[in-house]
Amino acid sequence: MSRNVFDNPSFFSKYMELRKDYNHNDLLEHPEMEKLCPDVRGKRVLDLGCGYGSYARSFIERGASYYLGIDSSESMIRKANAENAGDNIEYKLMNLEDLDSFECRFDLAYSSLVFHYIDDFDKLLRAIHSILNNDGILLFSQMHPIISASNGYSGYFEGEYFAFSSYQEEGRREGHWFKQKVISYHRKMSTIMNALASNGFLIEKVLEPLPSLEAVRELPALEKDLVRPTFLIVRARRI
């Protein structure tokens, strides 16, 4: 398994600081994910790239029968076990690229801001399709293609608008976040939608979140999202 940048101690602690303050996740991405989240009562939930398990308890509190979070970062899984453990909650150190070896079945595959780190999207979708029960839901957010397109951007939260470029050129991007090299993968909007359709998913809803004015007051950096989206959110059903 190649080393996960989230296991770099300085990167990890800066990321955790970011999650404590007003941030894009809490003010923009998560509320929109919540709007599309299905009723989880009695359902088995798989959180793909669960991080430190920030959403685990809320799934169980809302009636999910079981929550499994998988992530390839040892630091994340350690923190998840230490801070977000509970009945019917489990965590597993695992790379999403190995999901095709997984044998359990789930009703909801949930993934917040992880898919842009995955190279082979078709392989990932095939694996998700095979672990979802019939009619199961895939709900994910990822970096919006408008953001992931740019080659050689200076930083994710460093205060500047991203130069928009290279949209038609898909593939690997090397960026920097918290002074570390971060590898991500750009896919066009059409590639993402077509991959879902051709791997057995019915696209139910697509969101490009717009922040509320109250959220912009709390986190002025969100002003940029009044102009262009940072995130893409998709809810799809396994057919």
- Residue closer to ligand SAM by CB (options 97, 218) is 97
Residues in the chain: 239
Is 45 or 114 the residue whose CB approaches ligand SAM more closely? Answer: 114
Report DSSP state, residue 100.
Answer: G
How far apart are the C-alpha atoms of 79 and 154, rounded to whole Å? 29
Range 78-107, binding ligand SAM (CB under 6 A)? 95-97
Which of 8, 23, 73, 84 is the binder for ligand SAM (CB under 6 A)? 73
| Distance in Å, CB of 239 to ligand SAM, minimum | 25
Alpha helices in the chain (DSSP H): 9-20, 24, 30-36, 56-61, 74-83, 121-131, 145-148, 189-198, 213-218
Total of residues contacting ligand SAM (CB under 6 A):
19
Q: Which of 28, 45, 51, 216 binds ligand SAM (CB under 6 A)?
A: 51
Judge whether 209 and 144 are in contact, CB under 8 Å.
no
Residue 65 backbone dihedrals phi, psi, to 5 degrees = -80, -25
Closest approach of Cβ 69 to ligand SAM, in Å? 8
Which residues sit at the interface with ligand SAM, rule CB under 6 A? Answer: 4, 6, 25, 49-51, 54, 71-73, 76, 95-97, 112-114, 117-118
